[in-house]
Amino acid sequence: MSILSGKNILLGISAGIAAYKTATLVRTLIKAGANVKVVMTPASKDFVTPLTLSTLSKNPVHSSFYNEDDKNAEWNNHVELGLWADYFLVAPATANTLSKMANGTCDNLLLATYLSAKCPVYFAPAMDLDMYKHPSTKNTFKTLKSFGNVIIPAASGELASGLVGQGRLAEPVDIVAFMEADILKTLPLKGQKVLITAGPTYEALDPVRFIGNHSSGKMGFEIAKASANLGAEVILISGPTHQKVSHNLIHVIPVVSAQDMYDAAHQYFNTVDVAILSAAVADYRPKEISQSKIKKKDTTLTLELEKTKDILASLGAIKTKQLLVGFALETDNELEYAKGKLKKKNLDLIVLNSLKDKGAGFKTDTNKVTIIDNKNNVNAYELKSKAEVAIDILNVIKQKLNA
């Protein structure tokens, strides 16, 4: 998964021969997980068809304020298009369109949308060599950058005129890679390394059976995705779960037992800045594991259990620079137990769930949490999706890191 996954990308296409590359550019953005809408200058339709781009983007393509052939046509709202976008990418950006952007000229839908956009704007120039080098073009680049727009430099190579030099539209894969790298630089957790544990552990009784719990791992996976989307490098240690994640900043380490999770957590803990232990780790495991399937012989079966190693407490005992976050799932005296766990295990934050709260706990898409810090500040949150809860948790972590 790319940092662009789930983001709304508005692609503005102006009238240059390089517009033929935008079909591949749309596909590359879609492959990165982005939602893509396209707005074109009228003249750009001579180089690539709206039908091609709408088919690839799965969205209507806009090139005018309304459809002149349809008396009942709706107005194409440039303000709504601009507000929809998380990022606005103009590619190819011709000398003509760039000059109009720099001077506030507003004679087509693309330019009106640009002037309405509140999001970061990227532009990828495409023009002939002498045009690219012309003082007026350089002044246009300077002006647009002073507005906060970001230039994706043109590549060098053979141009449509037959000249060789700078002016070629950057290749679609390079445009997307540039945007990803530039966005990452601005993210609040860029440079931070985060360890997260998620899911249940399974403690074997025999080759067939195990002791486990109902944890789905969804909360931990949402925290991992949210952390990566904020720029963090994530080590996700997960017990057995059906949850899936694909993100170039998330490294998943599958484990089964509490001992497996203990070993993996200790292997990576000294390398991370933040550790968030959301896994539902078994407190006990069978003292003896049968090497053969246990046969049903008697009406009762007695199992002798022994304590597993306490991963959270063991990390709290050795932490140095790390910010350590634990979870507490309680049914009685919730706040009291959570505060006790926070202090006893040397945590910086603890996230409290109560199984008494409807919609919270295992196997749900929602959660209701209370976050307590090591200064006894208590923040209670309403019932939210686990994706939203993950953001709440990370917002508190960001405050702690910046304190």
- 268 lies in some domain: yes
Residues 297 and 164 in one domain: no
What range does the domain containing 16 cover? 8-186
Q: Which of 186, 209, 224 is the last residue of a domain?
A: 186
- 29 lies in some domain: yes
Q: Both tokens of residue 173?
A: 């894969």
User: Cα–Cα distance between 354 and 368 in angstroms, integer?
Assistant: 8
Is residue 37 within 8 Å of residue 108, measured between CB atoms?
no
Give the closest residue to 152 by CA, choosing from 98, 84, 86: 98
Q: Both tokens of residue 255?
A: 């484990």
> Which SS3 state, helix, strand or coil, does residue 387 take?
helix
User: Cα-flanking dihedrals φ and ψ of residue 40, to 5°?
Assistant: -120, 150
Q: How many domains does the chain have?
A: 2
Residue-wise pLDDT tens digits, 64-92: 876 655 455 555 667 788 889 999 999 99
User: Cα–Cα distance between 32 and 35 in angstroms, integer?
Assistant: 9
User: Cα–Cα distance between 10 and 50 in angstroms, integer?
Assistant: 14
- 3 lies in some domain: no
Give the pLDDT confidence score for residue 276 in this predicted structure.
98
Helix 311-318 vs helix 258-269: crossing angle, to nearest 10: 20
Q: Which residues contact 136 (CB under 8 A, 6 or more apart)?
A: 99
Residues 219 and 338 in one domain: yes
**CATH number, domain with residue 285:** 3.40.50.10300
Give the pLDDT confidence score for residue 335 in this predicted structure.
87
- 1 lies in some domain: no
Is residue 275 within 8 Å of residue 322, measured between CB atoms?
yes
**CATH number, domain with residue 74:** 3.40.50.1950
Give the pLDDT confidence score for residue 235 in this predicted structure.
98
How many residues does the structure list for the chain? 403
Q: What is the pLDDT along the chain (403 residues), one digit of tens a residue?
A: 688 988 999 999 999 999 999 999 999 999 999 999 999 999 999 999 999 999 999 999 998 876 655 455 555 667 788 889 999 999 999 999 999 999 999 999 999 999 999 999 999 999 988 899 999 999 999 999 999 999 999 998 888 878 788 889 999 999 999 999 999 888 999 999 999 999 999 999 999 999 998 899 999 999 999 999 999 999 999 999 999 998 889 999 999 999 999 999 999 999 999 999 999 999 999 999 999 998 888 888 888 999 999 999 999 999 999 999 999 987 778 888 999 999 999 999 999 987 777 766 676 789 999 999 999 899 999 999 999 999 999 999 999 998 7
Give the closest residue to 259 by CA, choosing from 235, 284, 234: 284
213 noted as active-site residue: yes
- The pTM of the full predicted model, rounded to 2 decimals, is 0.79
Active-site residue, from 8, 77, 213, 374:
213
Give the pLDDT confidence score for residue 182 in this predicted structure.
94
Residue-wise pLDDT tens digits, 368-401: 999 999 998 999 999 999 999 999 999 999 999 9
Give the pLDDT confidence score for residue 69 in this predicted structure.
53
